[in-house]
C-alpha cells in the first residue's frame, strides 16, 4: 500500500473530508500503527475548532486509537515492540522527557505533552505514527472498538478513582452517567466501592442500577444532591464527569470529612465553592488529567479482568463527519467509534 486515507479538517470549525496521503515511515523510537478503531472524544473539538495554541491545519484528530504495529522505526524494537502487536494510543501521546515534571517521573503533566491530533496526526485515518512511549498493549479479550475509548475516557475515570483516597467499602459517587460516567460507575463497583450514580431525571435510575450502582440520586428531585449523599453517610469521593460547573459544585456539601471532589469533566464556567465549605471538614477539590501509557495498559487489563466495556456506536471512517456531529449533539450512546475495516 503506497497511500492511505485520513479524515482531515482543513480550517478551524470546518467539516471532515477524506483524502489520500502517501504512507509515512516511522522515525527513530516511533512506530507506524495500522488503525482499526478510533473513538471520538468531546476534547477533539479543541483541535477541530483550533482552540489550542500551536495548532496547524489541516488537522487529523483522534486520541482514542486502537490498532496494530505496522512498521518499527529505528530503535523501537529495543522497547519490546514488534510488528503485529495490538496497541492503543490515547490522550497521552508521549512526553518530552526533559521538563521538570518528566524528570520527576510525572509524565502526564509534561509541559510539552504530545497529544494526538495536536502534536501530530491522530487516529481519524487508516494509519498514524506514534512515539514508543505512547503505546499501551491491548489484551486479547478486548476488541479494538472497545480498547480505543479506554485510552482516554477509560483511563481518565479509572485513574481518577484509583488515585483517590477512597478504599473498598467507602461511599463513592459518580456525577453523570454519559461517555465518562457510565465507565466510572462500572469501575467504582468493580473496585469495591459503595457506588452512587448521580444524573438528571428519575428515568435514569434503572440504567444506573444496570451499570452496577448501589444507589441513584436524581439531581432534579426536591432533595438536594448534597442532602442525598449525606443521608447515605457522606461520600469519601465524588468523581465529577459531567461538564456542568453548577452540578459539580452541588456535590461539595455531600462529601464526608476529608472527602475529595475529583473533577474530570471540563466546563468553562467557574465552580461555586466557598472556602468555608472546605475548611471545617478538610475537604479537597482537585482536577485529574488522563493517564500515561502504563496507566492505559493498567486500565485495559483491569477492564478485561472484570468484563468492563464501553458502550459504543461504531461507524465506518467514511461517515466521520456525521459521527462527529452526533457526538456534539449529545445523542451518542455513549462513544462514537470510527472503524477502518
CB 189 within 8 A of CB 212: yes
Q: Specify the pLDDT at position 1.
A: 65
Band (pLDDT 50/70/90 cuts) for residue 341 is: confident
Residue 221: pLDDT above 80? yes
The proportion of the chain whose per-residue pLDDT surpasses 90, expressed as a percent, equals 98
Are 265 and 180 in contact by the 8 Å Cβ rule? The answer is yes
The mean of the pLDDT values for the chain is 97
In total, the chain counts a number of residues equal to 341
Nearest to 338 by CA among 46, 47, 60: 60
**Is 258 in a helix, a strand, or coil?**
strand
3 state DSSP class of 81: coil
pLDDT tens digit sequence for 94-145: 999 999 999 999 999 999 999 999 999 999 999 999 999 999 999 999 999 9
CA triplet 182, 188, 193: central angle to 5 degrees? 145
The count of C-alpha atoms lying within 13 angstroms of the C-alpha of 266, restricted to the half-sphere facing its C-beta, is: 10
- Are the beta carbons of 235 and 260 closer than 8 angstroms? no
Beta strand 65-72 with 30-40 is antiparallel
Q: Dump pLDDT digits (tens) for 64-95.
A: 999 999 999 999 999 999 999 999 999 999 99
Structure confidence by residue, pLDDT tens digits, 2-34? 999 999 999 999 999 999 999 999 999 999 999
C-alpha cell belonging to residue 88 = 492503543
Mean pLDDT of 233-258: 97
Ramachandran assignment for 7, one of left (phi > 0), alpha (psi -120 to 50 degrees), beta (any other) = beta
Q: To the nearest whole percent, how much of the chain has pLDDT over 70?
A: 100
Amino acid at each position: 500500500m503506497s497511500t492511505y486515507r485520513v479524515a482531515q479538517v482543513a480550517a478551524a470549525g470546518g467539516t471532515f473530508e477524506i483524502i489520500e496521503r502517501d504512507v509515512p515511515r516511522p522515525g527513530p523510537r516511533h512506530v507506524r500503527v495500522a488503525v482499526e478503531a478510533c473513538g471520538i472524544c468531546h476534547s477533539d473539538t479543541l483541535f477541530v475548532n483550533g482552540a489550542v495554541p500551536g495548532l496547524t491545519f489541516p488537522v487529523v484528530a483522534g486520541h482514542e486509537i486502537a490498532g496494530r504495529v505496522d512498521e518499527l522505526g529505528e530503535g523501537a524494537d529495543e522497547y519490546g515492540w514488534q510488528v503485529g502487536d495490538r496497541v492503543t494510543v490515547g490522550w497521552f501521546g508521549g512526553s518530552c522527557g526533559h521538563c521538570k515534571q518528566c524528570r520527576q517521573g510525572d509524565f502526564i503533566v509534561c509541559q510539552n505533552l504530545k497529544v494526538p491530533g495536536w502534536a501530530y496526526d491522530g487516529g481519524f485515518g487508516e494509519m498514524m505514527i506514534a512515539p514508543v512511549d505512547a503505546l499501551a498493549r491491548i489484551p486479547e479479550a478486548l476488541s479494538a472498538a472497545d480498547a480505543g475509548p479506554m485510552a482516554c475516557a477509560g483511563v481518565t475515570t479509572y485513574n481518577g478513582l484509583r488515585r483517590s483516597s477512597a478504599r473498598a467499602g467507602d461511599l463513592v459517587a459518580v456525577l453523570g452517567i454519559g461517555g465518562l460516567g457510565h465507565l466510572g460507575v462500572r469501575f467504582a463497583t468493580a473496585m469495591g466501592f459503595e457506588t452512587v450514580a448521580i444524573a438528571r431525571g428519575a428515568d435514569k435510575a434503572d440504567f444506573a442500577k444496570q451499570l452496577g450502582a448501589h444507589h441513584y440520586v436524581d439531581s432534579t428531585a426536591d432533595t438536594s444532591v448534597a442532602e442525598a449523599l449525606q443521608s447515605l453517610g457522606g461520600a469519601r469521593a465524588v468523581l465529577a464527569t459531567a461538564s456542568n460547573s453548577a452540578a459539580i459544585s452541588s456535590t461539595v456539601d455531600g462529601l464526608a470529612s476529608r472527602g475529595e471532589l475529583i473533577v474530570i469533566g471540563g466546563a468553562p464556567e467557574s465552580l461555586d465553592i466557598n472556602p468555608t465549605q472546605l475548611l471545617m471538614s478538610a475537604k479537597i477539590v482537585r482536577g485529574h488529567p488522563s493517564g500515561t501509557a502504563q496507566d492505559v495498559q493498567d486500565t485495559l487489563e483491569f477492564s478485561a479482568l472484570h468484563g468492563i466495556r464501553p458502550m459504543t456506536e461504531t461507524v465506518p471512517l467514511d461517515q466521520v463527519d456525521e459521527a462527529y456531529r452526533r457526538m456534539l449533539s449529545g445523542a451518542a450512546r455513549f462513544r462514537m467509534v470510527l472503524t477502518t475495516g
